[in-house]
Amino acid sequence: MERLRSIESSIENECANVKWTELANEETIAKTSEALRNRGVNVEFSRTKEEALRRLKELIPAGSSMTTGASETLKEIGFTDYLKNGKHDWNNLKEKVVAEKDPLKQRQLRKQNVLADYLLGSVHAVTQSGEVFVASNTGSQLPSYAYTSDNVVWVVGVQKIVENMEEAMERIREYCFPLEDKRMKEAGAKGSAIGKILIFEREALPSRKVILIFVNEKAGV
């Protein structure tokens, strides 16, 4: 009986994962893209992760200050490694935060970090009506997403498109959070938590530019 329950549980989990990892079709992507544009978000489309990486390199002008939010998507497309090799002409503010060991100086650098010209990252869900959901433990990237950075660039696998806001929350709580919590524990930390959730309804400031690059592959969590 216990073995049967274990098998049933495994099947249920696998079905749930398929729901949250299945790539959206062309019609859904087009519908979602149009809804996002109506909310002030610029939408681009990359067929592959490699294409998305090339586009990121083009988007950020030389000499710009930039930073990144914690993002498995940026790792998967190769952007994190590209930053680490230093073969770029950007002022990487996050690198300076991580390198600083003095707690007081690091705190000041973190405040400057949210004022970067460009913030790159990803999101956890995008509804077909154009709302964008970002969950965070500390909320460190949320000020830049919401207001302080003049340019925000999100790279988003099309598996993150969901039908509505209710499904967006389900995706965060039932799929994204458990995976992130497991990843943190495997890395030696005590785990993660959902501390804050940003619901990005629209961009109203003409001085800001928000770009969402859909990737037609499974990218990120």
Digit-coded pLDDT (tens) for 71-119? 999 999 999 999 999 889 999 999 999 899 999 999 999 989 999 999 9
C-beta atoms surrounding 57 within 10 Å: 11
pLDDT, mean of each 10-residue run, the chain (221 residues)? 44 62 97 98 98 97 93 96 92 92 92 93 98 94 94 98 98 95 87 94 96 97 90
> What residue has token string 């690059």?
213
Angstrom distance (rounded) from CA 203 to CA 219: 24
Amino acid, res. 76: E
* Domains of the chain and any CATH numbers: 23-215 (3.40.50.10420)
**What phi-psi label fits residue 205: left (phi over 0), alpha (psi between -120 and 50 degrees) or beta?**
beta
From first CA to last CA, the distance across the chain in angstroms is 33
Q: Which residues of 95-108 are buried (b: 16+ CB within 10 A; e: fewer)?
A: bbbeeeeeeeeeee
